[in-house]
């Protein structure tokens, strides 16, 4: 109904993947429990060695198992989320974290806590003049705030910055 392609069948049966055309796939991503993900990887490898497989893992001990089963990459979502939550809660004193790229433009976030930016507006900060960086938005206590020339930066803000790799490196 929503024009979404789905695969129907048992994930431990190679015929399911063959019928789905796994050999033509760009990627197989599996987000089941660790044991089921290992079964998916082994089953896909029975069909083809050419398709990359990415899996999630709940347990650190499962990472090696999934890699040995044929996954190119294993993502531990719990660890990633925990690290990001800790980083956001603790702040990171102006250190930047790249969150995306658009061609040559790098998008990064940087906490204002413990920096000279606190109490300044985007215009007063001189980020554009000194580093060629644009302040495109701010997160304050979990709420997105579009940036304006008069918005005063607080200890609780994380800025969303855009600029060149060199400009961001100079700021860091």
Q: What is the pLDDT along the chain (172 residues), one digit of tens a residue?
A: 577 777 889 999 999 999 999 999 999 999 999 999 999 999 999 999 999 999 999 998 999 999 999 999 999 887 776 666 665 555 555 567 888 888 889 999 888 888 899 999 988 999 999 999 999 888 887 788 888 888 899 988 889 999 999 999 898 7
pLDDT at residue 87, as a whole number? 57
Could you identify the residue written with the tokens 């906490």?
Answer: 111
Token reading at 115: 């920096």
Tell me the angle at which helices 34-47 and 60-69 cross, rounded to the nearest 10 degrees: 10
Helix, strand or coil, per DSSP, at residue 137: strand
Query: H-helix or E-strand containing 158?
Result: strand 157-163
Q: Is 50 exposed, middle or buried (0-12, 13-18, 19+ CB in 10 A)?
A: exposed
Within 10 angstroms of residue 30's Cβ, the number of other Cβ atoms is 20
Q: What is the pLDDT of residue 40?
A: 97
Closest to 161 (Cα-Cα) out of 88, 169, 87: 169
Nearest to 152 by CA among 130, 133, 135: 135
Euclidean distance between CA atoms 117 and 107, whole angstroms: 19
pTM of the full structure: 0.52
């Amino acid at each position: 109904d929503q024009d979404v392609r789905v695969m129907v069948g048992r994930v431990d049966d190679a015929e399911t993947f063959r019928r789905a055309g796994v050999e033509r796939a760009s990627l197989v991503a599996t987000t089941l429990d660790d044991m089921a993900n290992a079964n998916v990887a082994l089953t896909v490898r029975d069909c083809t060695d050419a398709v990359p497989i990415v899996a999630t893992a709940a347990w650190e001990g499962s990472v090696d198992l999934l890699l040995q089963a044929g996954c190119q990459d294993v993502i531990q979502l719990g660890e990633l989320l925990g690290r990001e939550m800790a980083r956001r809660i603790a702040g990171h004193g102006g250190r930047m974290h790249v969150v995306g790229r658009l061609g040559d433009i790098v998008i990064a976030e940087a906490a204002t806590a413990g920096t000279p930016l606190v109490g300044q507006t985007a215009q007063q900060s001189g980020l554009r003049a000194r580093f060629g960086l644009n302040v495109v938005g701010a997160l304050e206590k979990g709420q997105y705030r579009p940036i304006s020339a008069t918005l005063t930066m607080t200890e609780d803000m994380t800025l969303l910055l855009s600029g060149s790799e060199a400009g961001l490196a100079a700021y860091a």
